Amino acid sequence: MVNSDLFLCVDHVGYAVPNLDEAITFHCDVLGWRVLHRERNEEQGVEEAMLGTGTQGAENAQIQLLAPLGPDTTIGKYLAKNGAGIQQVAYRVADIDAVSEALRASGVRLLYPEPKIGTGGSRIQFAHPKDTGGILLEIVEPAAGH
């Protein structure tokens, strides 16, 4: 069993969307969210935006909108198979290496041999949905200062 003290909180919920600008407009103009961060991640094949509510900062759980850079990317394939919607849930951790080791020791398959760089320079890892009850679970260690 993984020590729950290794997990800090829910970091974000990721939504796969076909058009990032339209999704941002809906979340901001209709729901009142605001863009906290936006970037293009070539390695992950996405253009993304992190959204928060009101005066919320990055310390609270956020919404991540993920639009594919092409149809052969992970998000592009997800959209083709499932349509728009929740694609993953991310848990924030202080030590991704310790969490990765504990998950592997518990028999959970991780998608990468080593963590990759994600939003805003964070370190990320994913647990296979077949080992997490059908949910793509992202583990996020925020970059210093985030």
Task: State the amino acid at position 97 in one-letter form.
Answer: D
User: Shortest CA distance to 136 belongs to which of 50, 95, 69, 78?
Assistant: 78
Distance, in Å, from the CA atom of 91 to the CA atom of 138, rounded to the nearest integer, reads 6
The strand pair at 62-68 and 7-16 is best described as parallel
Tens of pLDDT along 26-39? 999 998 899 999 99
pLDDT, position 58 = 56
Each residue's pLDDT tens digit, 38-73: 999 999 999 999 999 866 555 678 999 999 999 999
CB burial string 111-137: b at 16+ within 10 A, e below: eeeebeebbeebbbbbbeeeeeeeebb
Give residue-wise pLDDT tens across range 74-131.
999 999 999 999 999 999 999 999 999 999 999 999 999 999 999 889 999 999 999 9
Q: What is the mean pLDDT of residues 2-28?
A: 93
Whole-angstrom Cα distance, residue 123 to residue 15? 19
Amino acid residing at 110: L
